[in-house]
Amino acid sequence: METILQGTAEIRFTHPDAFREWVREHKRREMVEKLMTEGEAVSRCVADGDYIAYDFSSLTRGPQALVREIIRQRRRDLWICAEFTLHESALLVGGGCASRIDVGFLGYGNYIGRAVSDGRVRVFDWTNGALASRMLAGARGVPFMPVRTLLGTDTLRHSGARVVHDPFTGDPVCLVPALNPDVFLVHVHQADVFGNARIFGTNLFALEAATAARKVILAAEEIVDPLEFRKDPARTTIPYFLVDAVVHLPFGAYPGGVQARYELDLEHIDKVNAIQSEEQMQAYLAEFIYGVQDHADFLNRKVGWHRLQDLARRATIREGYH
């Protein structure tokens, strides 16, 4: 397969056989309880140097509490998949956790842009669609996915994609390598203790990434009876055997919202987005992340019951989320 053009990015690539062997040895087919605290989950599943991906957006159903826990545990040298990310990337860089970013969408704000310019974090440019396709390849156990995007651009030249001649048409086609993250973080509406999970609304690549990842940490607004899943199997987004840790984290997407549960807290989001200097960043981390014990402590001391109830009260659109 002659490569016509090859992007220059370093890629985190796992041979499909190596991934399969990891699954065989580490993923439990047994239905065992996986309920634990976010502290345990991150401590067990996230190691320095890991490649981390997450679903959905910073503002809706993002795994914010898990991201904060990773920062609190001061993981280092993470490589993150920045898809639909806004402030998570900034916080992970600010906390000194992330050193490399695969970019779909890097996130707004001067802080993250400056960190790139200063060389404090290395970026590799892809696209949202290319990263979703890479995740699909990872989930199907194949080494790559063909796409008809990236072609002709600098994005391609700076990505880790390759262009080859498609043998069926003879035309050039772009191949993006499979992505098998070390860790996938996902915040869901409902889960059972085994890891079966439901997401309401849309998602980026929840099932793809859960299937493709070595370790999956599930944060759930609500823990429900396992029988619920068997009674409505069409609603299951992620089956239990893909999942390594289940954490019950109500308001875990805060300051983002979760559909039909609570609205986003724009005031707090503005506070994060306003971070420009290193000093502001460290002050934010000190107050809201290092300065609290865990998610419950954060909600209790830094957000408060009244605010949480207000955000929940504003989530009046329920249609379709069941």
Partner 1 sequence: MIEFTDTEFMICTAARLLEDRKTVFVGWGMPQLVAMLAERLYTPSLVQIFEFGAIGPQSLIPFVRGTMGGPSNVYRSLQWSNMNWAFAYAGTGYVDYGMIGAAQIDTFGNVNSTLLGGTYERPARRFPGSGGGNEVASLCWRTILVMKHEPRRFVERLDFMTSPGYLDGPGGREKVGLPRGTGPWRVVTSKALFGFEEETKRLTLLGVLKGLSVPEVLDGMEFRPLATDLVEEIAPPADEELRVLREQIDPSGIVIRGEKMRAAR
Contacts with its own copies by CB under 8 A lie at 1-3, 13, 15-16, 137, 141-148, 162, 164-169, 171, 173, 175, 177-178, 200-201, 231-235, 319-320
Half-sphere exposure of 227 (CA within 13 A, CB side): 0
Residue 96: CB minimum distance to partner 1, A: 19
Nearer to its own copies, 2 or 118 (CB): 2
Q: Which does 118 bind (CB under 5 to 8 A by kind): its own copies, partner 1, none?
A: partner 1
The site string for partner 1 over 275-304 (x = CB under 8 A, - otherwise) reads: ------------------------------
Amino acid at 284: Y
Cα pseudo-dihedral 192, 232, 189, 137, rounded to 10: 90
Pick one of 46, 78, 150, 243: the residue that binds partner 1 (CB under 8 A): 150
Nearer to its own copies, 102 or 244 (CB): 102
Cα 20 to Cα 88: distance, rounded to the nearest angstrom: 30
Cα 242 to Cα 212: distance, rounded to the nearest angstrom: 9
**What are the structure tokens assigned to 252, written together?**
């875990």
Pick one of 99, 149, 280, 282: the residue that binds partner 1 (CB under 8 A): 149
The site string for partner 1 over 225-244 (x = CB under 8 A, - otherwise) reads: ----xxx-xx-x--xxxx--
Nearer to its own copies, 92 or 199 (CB): 199
Backbone angles phi, psi at 100, to 5 degrees: -140, 145
Pick one of 11, 47, 59, 292: the residue that binds partner 1 (CB under 8 A): 59
**What are the structure tokens assigned to 127, written together?**
């696209």
What Å distances lie between residue 230 and 197, 224, 225, 236, CA to CA?
Answer: 11, 12, 10, 9
Using rule CB under 8 A, residue 122 touches partner 1: yes
Q: Other C-beta atoms within 10 Å of 302: how many?
A: 15
Residue 279: CB minimum distance to partner 1, A: 20
Residue 101: CB minimum distance to partner 1, A: 10
Find the binding residues for partner 1 in span 8-27 (CB under 8 A). 16-17, 19-24, 27
DSSP alpha helices (H): ranges in 46-193?
A: 64-72, 87-94, 110-117, 128-140, 154-158
